[in-house]
Amino acid sequence: MSEDHGIPARTATRAVHAGEARHKFAGSLINPISQTATYVFDSLDAFTQFKAGDLEGYEYGRYGNPTQQVAEQKIAALEGAEAGLLFSSGMSAVTSTLLAMLSSDEHIVILGDCYRQTVRFCHMLARYGISVTSVAAWDWEALARSIRPATRIVLTESPTNPHLRVVDIDRLVSLGREHDLCIIMDSTFATPINLRPLEYGVNLVIHSATKYLGGHNDLMAGGVFGGETDVAAVREFQRVTGAIVDPLTSFLLIRGLKTLALRVERQNHSAMEMALFLDQHPRIRLVHHPGLPGHPDHTVAERQMDGYGGVVSFEVDGDLEATRRAVEALRIPYLAPSLGGVESLATHPATMSYYDLSREERLQIGITDELVRYAVGIEDVSDLIDDLDAALSRL
């Protein structure tokens, strides 16, 4: 879909060049920011021609912007998608896509361990007459049982958060084909560097571009990528509801995307090193990382992914207090939600993202008191490991 200028189309090259015109405004090397709310027509006839599809251009800021389009085409090229659409956040991509595709009396299945607000939104859909079933990402029997004639969508993430479970996409796609379902995968944790779900027959891929795609912890955006017809349906919806990405954010996203391959390769490598370090550490009880041979989905991850991603979760051999002390003793990562940026970030899910659940409720979904999520940045991994070692020695 995007211009390829005859430039070789391997992933890292696409990240730099895809979606961009070779000749830009005023001979500019970098794609300009079209910071405008509306667009001008030379005549009423021109407007009529534009509406008939006979004249290219833009109409009004809510319907699309040239800077946004470059960012969309760049990510679409990385995912191997026909089309893409950006939003003001990952959650606006999730909610708009689901609302655009579902009608009352239909049913959606959501695989477990999905982003918490995505799960909450799916349960809100009940208010609009859309029913939802949650099943564990690895429970294929429960998944098959959950499918009914009204089922329209199966929504999943891979790798999941915070346990980094990896969904067998071949298996999910064949189930989807058998029942004529739309398979939607939130691929935020994988990034198109490590996994391209559309190549496996997934229908739509969603990203929180706030994370790896932007990559610098300085913007919020989200997107949906897939076939032209599906994306056009979501675009029609967005034209009305208006959760658009703004031109400046689009510019920052384009800038971030150019280094995506470099950053993710570094993050893959560092997270793997940290997982190996933690795996043999006497004060660590359990490490969740799909690159470790002991991880329940290691074989699937090895088969379908080009890298295991930049997040490692682990459980400290101690109690809630000891874990909190260890997390607070970390000097390099910031204590903050989010992931995928150049700065390492650590979270204690029991205190942070799941603060509002009782201990029993948390344990039911595997959020133990001792669980720590470490989202690796691009710092030198030896420094990260030394820092972790020092923090764990406080236990």
* Binding positions for ligand PLP, rule: CB under 6 A: 89-91, 115, 118, 157, 161, 186, 188-189, 208, 210-211, 220, 222
Find all residues with CB under 8 Å of 148, minimum gap 6, and list them.
107
Instruction: Let me know if 62 is a catalytic residue.
Output: yes
What is the CB neighbour count within 10 angstroms for residue 301? Answer: 27
Closest residue to ligand PLP, judged by C-beta, is: 90
- What minimum distance in Å lies between the beta carbon of 121 and ligand PLP? 10
Say which amino acid occupies 100.
A
Q: Which one from 39, 58, 62, 239 is the annotated catalytic residue?
A: 62
Distance CA 208, CA 214 (A): 9
Q: Which is nearer to ligand PLP, 221 or 261 (CB)?
A: 221
* 380 to 227, 232, 394: CA distances (angstroms): 39, 42, 22
| Least Cβ distance, residue 235 to ligand PLP (angstroms) | 19
Distances (CA, A) of 197 to 30, 141, 172, 222: 30, 22, 11, 17
HSE-CB of 313 using CA atoms within 13 angstroms? 24
Question: Looking at 14, 113, 115, 308, which residue is catalytic?
Answer: 115
Of 67, 74, 84, the closest CA to residue 16 belongs to 74
201 and 177 Cβ atoms separated by less than 8 Å: yes
What's the closest the beta carbon of residue 211 comes to ligand PLP, in angstroms? 6
Please state, in angstroms and rounded to a whole number, the distance separating the CA atoms of residues 106 and 126.
Answer: 10
The least CB distance from residue 48 to ligand PLP, in Å, is 38
Return the number of the residue (89 or 191) whose C-beta is nearest ligand PLP: 89
Shortest Å distance, C-beta 88 to ligand PLP: 8
Nearer to ligand PLP, 17 or 211 (CB): 211
Rounded least distance, CB 183 to ligand PLP, Å: 16
Please choose, from the candidates 318, 324, 308, the residue with its C-alpha nearest in 3D space to the C-alpha of residue 270.
Answer: 308
**279 Cβ contact list (under 8 Å, min separation 6):** 287, 292, 294
Residues designated catalytic = 62, 115, 186, 211
